[in-house]
Structures are given as structure tokens and as C-alpha cells.
Amino acid sequence: MLTLKAFAKVNLVLEVLGKRDDGYHEIASIMQTVSLYDVLTLEPASHIKLDFSLPGLPDRANIVLKAAEALAKFAGCSMGAVIGLEKNIPVGAGLGGGSSDAAAVLRGLNRLWRLELTREQLAAIGAGLGSDVPFFIYGGACLIGGRGEWVTPLADLDQAWFVLLRPDMAVSPDKTAALYRLVKPGHYTSGDLSSGMRELFENRGERKPAPLYNVFEKVTPAAFPGLDKYMEEFLKAGAPEVHLAGSGPVLFTMLHDERQASGIHARLMAGGLDSYLVTSVGREEIDC
């Protein structure tokens, strides 16, 4: 039996460059895995089965099953597996939990079935499952392009701490699509913000820190009414700045001082807010 961790992510930068002819948006992003994770177990079996239940998430529609079936089809493999899934990453939070689970299944079954596919092949399969899946095949810090299928691994970030705040609000199943519909040409950027962050990773200590940025923050009042109150509470707890994690509504602040991060987390928890204290996760911690 294999046991794998499927880590969450935050977007340190998320830009929309424009809308493509195929209807998708062209993005530029810097993504980073963090230490909040789901746990997957994989055991050999005669067929593919998901040993998991969560209200509102039908088994046959689950991206985890779709990943296993897509891998078997690509490889012409008739083997099966029982996939156990323990969810810790909040669903619909903007942290990439479903995509990370799918990527972990692709990596794990590649080992279990001894297929010996490359990361590039697994990422290509993942691109057909969801825009964030290719990133999670690599993990660590990556520059992302296209609609998410172009992944350039970067040097690991010096250890950072992230405080996550999960607002108590309902989220629509088509949240991400709704956010993209709200993004207008005036919100498009050139990709320079992602390039600046990439330079920070590649030339540590030689350049000024690049700003964190998320295009969806331009439209959060319409997308997430009431989110501004949570941002205010986050700042009152001592966060130097607050940003939307991916498509939200989870918020985050990033720090390089563990004590400061712990204090912010403690104050949020004392205020009855759902909060997580996590660290950056490097690529060497991702199961191959």
C-alpha cells in the first residue's frame, strides 16, 4: 500500500493576460505548495474504486476517480486500485485540494502500476483533468502559464510561513467560472508581476521583494459579499497584508518570521475564526 500527501497551494501571483479563442483565460502565476494536505492511500485491486464519501461530492464525478481512469486509459493498463482519501484541505476554498488529490493519484498509481511515466507525461494527463493539476505533479514553487498547463519549476522558496483564514460563507460550485466572468479587459496585466516574482526566486538577496498579487481581488466585492470584513479582522490580528488564495474565498498572509505568524494565527483562533498555520513545501517533499 502506498500513502501519499496531497498538499494545498497558494498563488503568490495570479494574473490574467487576456481571453483565448478557446474561451479560456491566459494566465501567468507563481504557485507554491504549503503544508496543509489531504492523505491518499493506494492498494492494488482488480478494479478502480474510491473509498471515500463526502456530502455533495458524487463518487463518479470526483476528480480522483477521473484521474485514475485517465491514467489507465493513457497507459493501456487494466490494473485497478482502491483509493482511500482523507480530506483535510477545505473544499472549494481556492487551495487546490481536488487538483492536488488528482495529481497525487497520478503520481502514486504511476508507481503502484510500475508504468514509469515521466512527470511531463503525467502533467499532460493532468491538464485534461483541471487547470491546476499539472502544477501539483511538480509542486514546490512554479511559474504557470497558458490556462495552467505550462509549468516551469523554480528554485525552492526560503522557508516561509503562511496563515490561512477560511471565511464562514457559502461557495457556489461554479465559483471559479463566475470569477473569470467578472474579470474584464481593464483587469488584464502583462505578466510582469509573475516575472518579477520569478526573478526573486532565482536571484535571492539581489533584488527587492516582488509584490504579491491576485487579479480576483479586483472583483471580490461582487464575488464574495462580506469578505472585506474577514480581511479587516485578519489585518487587526497583525497580518502585514492579506490576499486571496487562488480563487478564494480563503485568505492568506505570508511571513518569514515563525513567531509573528504563530501570533497572528493564535489571535484569529481566539476570535473564533477558522485559521491554519502552515509552511512552504519544497519540491523534494513531493512524492515522485
DSSP 119-173: HHHHHHHHHTT-TTHHHHHH-SEEEEETTTTEEEE-PPPPP-EEEEEE-S----T
Tell me whether strands 80-86 and 48-51 are parallel, antiparallel or unpaired: parallel
Query: Of 9, 38, 156, 175, which one is the catalytic site residue?
Result: 9
Three-state SS sequence of 225-270: CCHHHHHHHHHHCCCCCCEECCCCCCEEEEECCHHHHHHHHHHHHH
Residue 272 burial by Cβ neighbours in a 10 Å radius (0-12, 13-18, 19+):
exposed
The closest alpha carbon to 103, from 78, 121, 79, 77, belongs to 121
- Pairwise CA distance, residues 138 & 278, whole Å: 19
Confirm whether 2-155 and 161-283 share one CATH topology.
no
Domain ranges for the chain, please list them. 2-155, 161-283
pLDDT at 56: 56
pLDDT at 287: 72
CATH assignment of 161-283? 3.30.70.890
Sign of the torsion angle spanned by Cα atoms 40, 151, 288, 285: negative
pLDDT at 54: 62
Q: What is the pLDDT of residues 245-254, one digit of tens each?
A: 999 999 999 9
CATH assignment of 2-155? 3.30.230.10
Distances (CA, A) of 104 to 30, 52, 260: 20, 15, 32
Known active-site residue 192? no
pLDDT tens string, the chain, 288 residues long: the values are: 899 999 999 999 999 999 999 888 999 999 999 999 999 999 999 999 988 756 655 554 589 999 999 999 999 999 999 999 999 999 899 999 999 999 999 999 999 999 999 999 999 999 999 999 999 999 999 999 999 999 999 998 788 999 999 999 988 888 999 999 999 999 999 999 999 999 888 876 544 567 999 999 999 999 999 999 999 999 999 999 999 999 999 999 999 999 999 999 999 999 999 999 999 999 988 876
Q: What is the pLDDT of residues 171-224, one digit of tens each?
A: 888 899 999 999 999 999 999 999 999 988 887 654 456 799 999 999 999 999
Known active-site residue 132? yes
Strand, coil or helix: 207: coil
Amino acid identity, position 212? L
- Residue 29: beta bridge partners? 14, 144
Sign of the torsion angle spanned by Cα atoms 44, 48, 53, 54: positive
The closest alpha carbon to 103, from 122, 78, 82, belongs to 122
Query: Of 5, 132, 156, 175, which one is the catalytic site residue?
Result: 132
Distance of CA 219 to the CA centre of its chain: 20
Question: pTM, whole model, 2 decimals?
Answer: 0.94
The closest alpha carbon to 161, from 270, 249, 34, belongs to 34
